[in-house]
Amino acid sequence: MIAPLPDAAPTNWVDRHAPEGLKDWLKLGRFDRPIGIWLLLLPGWQGITLALAAYRKTPDAYDVWLYVGFLIGACLMRAAGCAFNDVVDRRIDAQVARTASRPVASGRISVKGAWAYIVICSLISLGVLLTLGPVAIALGVASLALVAAYPFMKRITWWPQAWLGMTFNWGALMGFAGASGLIAAWPIPLAATIGGAPIHPILTLMAPAVLLWLSGVFWTLGYDTIYALQDVEDDAMIGVKSSARRLGANVRMGVGVFYAVGVAFAALAGASAGLGPWFWPGLALFSLQLAFQTARVRREDGALALRLFKSNRDAGLILLFAIGLGAL
């Protein structure tokens, strides 16, 4: 029997219910730790909801499919991204206590097997992507560069969490583009020039989505810095860089600043999309949840860091509902 991985709940459904022959493959895609699916999915759902609100659009069957399609895509692309990350980092993972028992690092799944897994997940995701509009499809293709580069960021920059933020929140742009179609006249007055120079129409139409994406980048920078606290000692020994190591004793202040900037960009996104007054109490609750996390951060407490990190599913849901309420 394969033991649960260190950062998976002991009662996770994979270890409890999945057939033995599938457990390693499900763990390769992190299906035993669904928090990553939530954190990849929620920006996409937020982008869809923001577009529906901005365009004063009643959801139709296609919009329902968008929510379902983004759920499928988040599950599969997160699985493919994790498998790719494990292939690239297999030697590093073998030296870190939390990751040494991962299927590729431990040798239970071969590198060739992991590549086949990546290809299958990516092809199914491509089928979902092709049901979206042309701008959303182009954004989806562009995201592959972010995904491919991410595993190497911890080797070249102290801020791989920022790159993860750009990658994980790309769905906000795709969801907004998919739901809006970028075909109608923008119903909200937005500046058409910057310093007298005209703005490209797509940039004008996508302004709320870009602001939402920036909000997510800083949100992820905060929560993934908390997550990285689990590996600070191992990362220092093997030379892996992270924002948690870079901030050192100032990690709580850093997380607080990242979260504050994320909330500010979320407010700008809501204002630019013309969300109604019920958005603002929801945004206040979102900011309180992030403030609660920040107040509890302890650099030396890895177990607490994991719990705080996982609480960001609730934070993302709060922001999603706030956007939905703003559409009423």
Q: Strand, coil or helix: what is 94?
A: coil
Q: Which helix (H) or strand (E) holds 117?
A: helix 111-129
Read off the pLDDT of each residue in 18-46 and give the average, rounded to a whole number: 93
Return the structure tokens found at 26: 């499900």
Residue 201 has pLDDT above 70, yes or no: no
Distance of alpha carbon 222 from alpha carbon 162, whole angstroms:
9
Residue 220 has pLDDT above 90, yes or no: yes
Range from 25-39, 89-103, 187-201 carrying the lowest mean pLDDT: 187-201
Q: How sure is the predictor about 237, in pLDDT bands with cuts at 50, 70 and 90? A: confident
pLDDT of residue 182: 57
Q: Phi first, then psi: what are they for 236, rounded to 5°?
A: -65, -40
Do residues 75 and 26 lie in contact, with contact meaning Cβ atoms separated by under 8 Å? no
pLDDT of residue 109: 92
Q: Strand, coil or helix: what is 193?
A: strand
Q: How sure is the predictor about 6, in pLDDT bands with cuts at 50, 70 and 90? A: low
Q: Where are the domains of the chain?
A: 17-326
Return the structure tokens found at 40: 């990849």
Residue owning tokens 């909801």? 49
Q: How sure is the predictor about 96, in pLDDT bands with cuts at 50, 70 and 90? A: confident
Q: Which residues of 174-204 are buried (b: 16+ CB within 10 A; e: fewer)?
A: bbbbbbbbbeeebeeeeeeeeeeeeeeeeee
Residue owning tokens 């699916």? 37
Q: Read off the DSSP letter of residue 19.
A: -
Residue pLDDT, tens place only, 149-189 = 988 898 899 999 999 999 999 999 999 999 986 533 343 33
Q: Give DSSP secondary structure letters for 129-169.
A: HTTS-HHHHHHHHHHHHHHHHHHHHHHH-S-HHHHHHHHHT
Kindly give, in sequence order, each residue whose CB lies less than 8 Å from that of residue 266, ignoring residues fewer than 6 positions away: 211, 212, 215, 283, 286, 319
pLDDT of residue 199: 43
CATH number corresponding to 17-326: 1.10.357.140
Q: Which residues of 240-249 are buried (b: 16+ CB within 10 A; e: fewer)?
A: bbbbbbbbee
Read off the pLDDT of each residue in 102-128 and give the average, rounded to a whole number: 94
Q: Read off the DSSP letter of residue 250.
A: G
Q: Strand, coil or helix: what is 194?
A: strand
3-state helix, strand and coil shares in percent for the chain, rounded to the nearest 5: 70, 0, 25
Kindly give, in sequence order, each residue whose CB lies less than 8 Å from that of residue 199, ignoring residues fewer than 6 positions away: 191, 192, 193
Residue 119 has pLDDT above 90, yes or no: yes
Mean pLDDT of the chain: 88
pTM above 0.85, yes or no: yes
Kindly give, in sequence order, each residue whose CB lies less than 8 Å from that of residue 283, ignoring residues fewer than 6 positions away: 263, 266, 267, 270, 319, 322
Nearest to 322 by CA among 290, 287, 295: 287
Distance of alpha carbon 63 from alpha carbon 39, whole angstroms:
20
Percentage, residues of the chain above pLDDT 70: 89
Residue 124 has pLDDT above 80, yes or no: yes
Return the structure tokens found at 113: 């097997």
pLDDT of residue 193: 39
